[in-house]
A and B are shown apart, each in its own frame.
Chain A
Amino acid sequence: LAKTTQPISMDSYEGQEVNITCSHNNIATNDYITWYQQFPSQGPRFIIQGYKTKVTNEVASLFIPADRKSSTLSLPRVSLSDTAVYYCLVGDPYSTLTFGKGTMLLVSP
């Protein structure tokens, strides 16, 4: 059961790149790393998932080092609407999925 550690909060300004790092020292071989975004009173929304190296989609990039003990979500050029809580989830649905406590990202003008 991989536990995750993320910063509680981060601040940024519009147009900047934001990197949020998640530590998961006891990640298992079958575990994927998934990041979610959550706005108040809404369900989490899938952002990106990876197993190793780098993954990129239209909204974010995910960097995973070779030892897979950490991962970094990169949000390019954030806007005010990116203010949300970001969760790192490391796990395998064949066993319990445990979310971390999340990182509250505040984007200011």
Chain B
Amino acid sequence: EAQVTQNPRYLITVTGKKLTVTCSQNMNHEYMSWYRQDPGLGLRQIYYSMNVEVTDKGDVPEGYKVSRKEKRNFPLILESPSPNQTSLYFCASISWTSGGAYEQYFGPGTRLTVT
């Protein structure tokens, strides 16, 4: 089944303890992205990657790192998490259709709580 997977789905951690949220897609998509979703703010893009070894900042990159060493994986790293990074995180990948059109597929989400 074509899908985007994220792990863990739920995580409670403490301020300053480094963590990584993994994201993997099995659709051979070049483009992958991370979003965070907070009440009343919709989804905001953190980082995106057009291809292996290519990453760019989104709207809210502060406090996050990413890497793209393989096409299928795009981990999100919080080197020193803080309570304001408590949020619901979504990974996504994009397939290109015709003439610049695209379709974006989202993972199931990771609910992170930083105390």
Chain A positions within 8 Å of B, measured between CB atoms, are: 30, 32, 34, 36, 41-46, 49, 51, 87, 92-94, 96-102
When distances are taken between beta carbons in the complex, the residues of chain A under 8 Å from B100 are 30, 32, 51, 92
When distances are taken between beta carbons in the complex, the residues of chain B under 8 Å from A87 are 42-43
Query: Could you tell me how many residues of chain B have their Cβ less than 8 Å away from some Cβ of chain A?
Result: 32
Chain B positions within 8 Å of A, measured between CB atoms, are: 4, 31, 33, 35, 40-45, 48, 50, 56-59, 88, 90, 92, 94, 99-109, 111
Of A45, A51, A94, A99, the contact of B43 (CB 8 Å cutoff): A99
Contact between A101 and B102, CB atoms less than 8 A apart = no
Of A32, A41, A44, A96, the contact of B106 (CB 8 Å cutoff): A44
When distances are taken between beta carbons in the complex, the residues of chain A under 8 Å from B42 are 87, 99-102
When distances are taken between beta carbons in the complex, the residues of chain B under 8 Å from A99 are 35, 42-44
Contact between B48 and A49, CB atoms less than 8 A apart = no
Contact between A93 and B102, CB atoms less than 8 A apart = yes
Also in contact, A96 and B90, with CB within 8 A (given A43-B109, A87-B42)? no
